[in-house]
Amino acid sequence: MFDAEAALALLQYGDSAYPAGGFAFSWGVEGLAADGLLASRQDLDDIAWEHLTLRWNSMDRPLLGRAFRAADVSGVTAVDRYAETATPSAAMREGSRRAGRALLGVSVRLGGPLSTLYRASVSQAPLLGHLVAVQAVVYRDAGLDLASAELVSGWTLVNGLVSAAVRLGVIGHVEAQRSLGLCRAVLADLLAEPVPAGASPSSFTPLVDIAISRSRPVRMFTT
């Protein structure tokens, strides 16, 4: 049966207007555009596919599952530290922590008990607070199940990529809806296949990592 309350929760937490600072992160779109590697909707669609299949589904999603199933804060912390170690790009690590801490702060202000508990750990460890670990905490506080948490995690990534391309003038609003439609289909296909038991998180997005890491005199986005 259709669960209206669950659907509305997905709409709330997956909304680009959710006040967690997502507008500050392009996840490489800005750098790729500046380097002339992202100049059209097709380029954006290719980068979104790469993000979803070669990083989110193979690294973020398995880590989200581990953190979501963690029995206590120490289990979430272990996932958080793994995310730090497994992310080679310093700029990506910093962006992930900033995005995670922003999301965690909103959840704490909304009264999330697990979020409040986890922020106590994060506040004492500067390398903690990665987005994927925080998403597990926040979405548990929101009452989402793991499948819903995965959906929101993937969708907020897609929203961030497409929104950044619009703000940079790479595509217009109508083209953005076409990109979102394509990404929606890709994400749905990925979510239809469960994460294999014992899967080792991995990612391979060299163009994105380089674009984020390159020093630039002016930036609109953190990543």
pLDDT at residue number 218: 65
Tokens representing 201 are 């998180």
pLDDT (0 to 100) of residue 6:
82
Query: What is the predicted pLDDT for the residue at 154?
Result: 96
CB-based contact 177:84 (threshold 8 Å): no
For residue 57, give the nearest of 189, 212, 223 by alpha carbon.
Answer: 189
Please report the pLDDT score of residue 169 as a whole number: 95
**Burial of 222 by CB count in 10 Å (0-12 exposed, 13-18 middle, 19+ buried)?**
middle
What pLDDT does 2 receive?
A: 67
Residue spans of the domains in the chain: they are 21-213
Q: Would you give the distance in Å from CA 158 to the centre of its chain? A: 8
Hey, how many other C-beta atoms are within 10 angstroms of the C-beta on 86? Answer: 15
**CB-based contacts of 10, cutoff 8 Å, min separation 6:** 144, 148, 151, 152
Which CATH number is 21-213 given? 1.10.4190.10
pLDDT tens across the length of the chain (223 residues) = 667 888 888 888 888 777 776 778 888 899 999 989 999 999 999 999 999 999 999 999 999 999 999 999 999 999 999 999 999 888 889 999 999 999 999 999 999 999 999 999 999 999 999 999 999 999 999 999 999 999 999 999 999 999 999 999 999 999 999 999 999 999 999 999 999 878 889 998 888 888 888 877 767 777 7
CA 208/CA 88 separation, integer angstroms: 12
Here the tokens at position 130 are 């990665």
Measuring CA to CA, which residue among 85, 44, 90, 29 is closest to residue 220?
A: 29
